[in-house]
Amino acid sequence: MTAPQLPKVAGIDPPVPAPAPSSASPAAGSPSSAATSEDHSEAGSTAASPTAGALVQDHLARWVSDLTTLQELIERLLRTTTLDDALQELLRAGASLVGAGRGLVTLHPEGGPPVTVGLGLGRADLGHLETIPHEHTAPRTGSPYVRLLEDLPPVGTRDGVCHPDITGEDGLDPRHREVAARLGYAASYAVPLDVATPVPHRLGAAVWLYPEPAEPAERRRHLAGLYCGYATEHLARLLELDRVRETLTVLHSELLPSRLPRVPGIRLAVRHRPGAQGGGSWYDALPLPEGALGLAVGTITGSGPTAIAAMGRLRASLRAYAVMEGEDPVAVLSDLELLLRLTEPARAATALFAYCEPALRKVVVAGAGHCSPLVLGDHRTEYVETSLSAPLGMLACWEAPSVEIEPAPGETLLFYSDGLLRGTGAAMDRAFARLHLAAATVPRNSRHDPDAIADHVLRTVLPDETAEITDDVVLLVAHFE
């Protein structure tokens, strides 16, 4: 008689069952045949011990296999850095643990919109699940997937809820059977996603679907519960990180110009992508007396809320200096450097300020450790030759000469942050070459539209719009008519 086959967990075969003990008796005349009844009883106990030891080894091997599998899955989950990637990894790992093929996870963070992601389910499929009517009270998760999640246990437990045979289950709404038949699933297993700290609450739930009537074994349920416990904490951290980033993004945008000014003879466009770390890059476009215009871009060292606040103070100061002495960009940056040294001694900043007279098509530029502007026209695409200068706050006294530019009618100046170059992931010389190529390849029918120029350059330099960038990206385009 053979031992029953143990179930598989996460694709790892269980250990080989221990062989059954032999029933052969000792031969006649052997020392065992002459043993007394007490000796015979002791011998029987000794013969049984190897089998018991093998069973213990089997259990230990199973536990080691389960823990190894769980560790691998958790390590894979912790390598995810975005919420969407983490949710997909949770669904894939959970499906392997409970032996399902498809599933969905829904989150309802406090103060945020609900998030629902499916595995093997499209948007239309999720929409069908949302049509399942409320049969009892609203679920604790607040999810629209009511019937799948309404029987979950109270917060703080890892027990899942299984519907092993939806077709044959009594008291089930006909709409649920209809949706299950349409989507091709016959059973479901739901696990709550509960956060323990700082206040225990339910973040959401995960559900896995089976194509045929099925129910995960207790061993699989236990592993899925452990895994979902770790996964929930990771998801909570990613949600909090997203909230902090969103707050920093809003704060950053509120400290930048809400709209660009309209000055005769020049048209402006700007593109700004906040970095993942909440950097301190800024831009400005300030109307000045006598039809002039001041343009500025810059970056302050550091990241996070303190860097953004320092950026706001620096930009406000630059606007004041530009109004008073904007026709002399060197003086503007010199005053800004003195202020930075006195009020932000632990920080440095790069900055570029340009005094533009659109009627005369004349631009005077001074830069402090910042990237040179790029001139784009029908007959040239070249970087402006500016002198090498140190960032503000790096020297006891900053000073650098200004450069005068005379753009021809129809030419465009590009001002940008170094985050645009770093976003390419290439060495700086190659990043400059890529930016030059992007400007040179702007279609001729788009060269008189600053918005089209900005979109083309940004799309060419940073083709992957979904890729996470570390530093702020600023691109300010000034087109002279």
What are 459's two structure tokens?
A: 């799309």
* Helices first, then strands: H and E counts in the chain: 11, 15
User: Is 60 within a domain?
Assistant: no
pLDDT of residue 320: 95
Task: Categorise residue 81: left if φ over 0, alpha if ψ from -120 to 50, beta otherwise.
Answer: alpha
DSSP 9: B
**pLDDT tens, 135-153?**
433 344 444 454 455 566 6
Same domain, 181 and 269: no
Is 60 exceeded by the pLDDT of residue 374? yes
For residue 18, is it within any domain?
no
Domain boundary among 248, 275, 291: 248
Q: What is the pLDDT of residue 41?
A: 43
Domain match, 194 and 303 both: no
> Do 289 and 436 share a domain, yes or no?
yes
The pLDDT value recorded for residue 158 is 65
What are the phi and psi torsion angles at 208 (to 5°)?
Answer: -120, 145
433-479 confidence digits (pLDDT tens): 999 999 999 999 999 999 999 999 999 999 887 777 888 999 999 99
Q: Are residues 143 and 194 in the same domain?
A: yes
> What single-letter DSSP state applies at residue 405?
E
Is residue 26 one of the residues assigned to a domain?
no
In order, the DSSP letters of 344-396 are -TT--EEEEEEEEETTTTEEEEEEES-PPPEEE-SS-EEE------PPBTSSS
Does 32 have pLDDT greater than 90? no
pLDDT of residue 148: 52
Cα 324 to Cα 423: distance, rounded to the nearest angstrom:
35
Task: Say if CB 258 and CB 350 are below 8 A apart.
Answer: no
Higher-confidence residue of 334 and 36: namely 334
Separation of first and last alpha carbons in the chain = 93
Look up the CATH number of the domain holding residue 129.
Answer: 3.30.450.40
Q: In this predicted structure, which of 7-11, 320-324, 430-434 has the lowest mean pLDDT?
A: 7-11
pLDDT for 376 beyond 60: yes
> Which pLDDT does position 156 carry in this prediction?
60
Residue 9 maps to a domain: no
Could you give the number of structural domains in the chain?
A: 2
Q: Do 426 and 297 fall within a single domain?
A: yes
- Which residues, listed in sequence order, are joined to residue 376 by a DSSP beta bridge? 381, 412
> What are the residues whose beta carbons fall under 8 Å from the beta carbon of 195, sequence distance 6 or more?
201, 202, 203, 232, 233, 236
Asked whether residue 21 carries a pLDDT value surpassing 80, the answer given is no
Beta bridge pairs of residue 273: 473
Q: Mean pLDDT throughout 267-271?
A: 97
Q: What is the mean pLDDT of residues 323-344?
A: 93
pTM, rounded to two decimals: 0.68
Q: Which of 216, 248, 280 is the last residue of a domain?
A: 248
CATH number for the domain spanning 340: value is 3.60.40.10
Q: Which parts of 199-348 are beta strand (E)? A: 201-210, 266-273, 279-288, 292-303
Residues 238, 206 share a domain: yes
Specify the pLDDT at position 49: 57
pLDDT at position 276, please?
Answer: 75
For 288, other C-beta atoms within 10 Å of its C-beta total 17
81 and 147 inside one domain: yes
pLDDT (0 to 100) of residue 42 = 40
| 316 and 429 part of one domain | yes
Which region among 8-22, 61-75, 144-158, 225-239 has the lowest average model confidence (pLDDT)?
Answer: 8-22
pLDDT digits (tens, 9 = 90+) for 42-99: 444 444 456 877 888 887 888 888 888 899 999 999 999 899 999 999 999 999 999 9
3-class DSSP assignment, residue 446: helix
φ and ψ at residue 194, rounded to 5 degrees: -110, 140
pLDDT at 421: 94
Cα–Cα distances in Å, from 319 out to 69, 282, 288, 324, 380? 59, 12, 10, 9, 32
Single residue among 248, 271, 305 that ends a domain in this structure: 248
Q: Do 284 and 234 share a structural domain?
A: no
Rounded CA-CA distance 352/87 in Å is 43
Structural domain boundaries enclosing 270 = 257-480
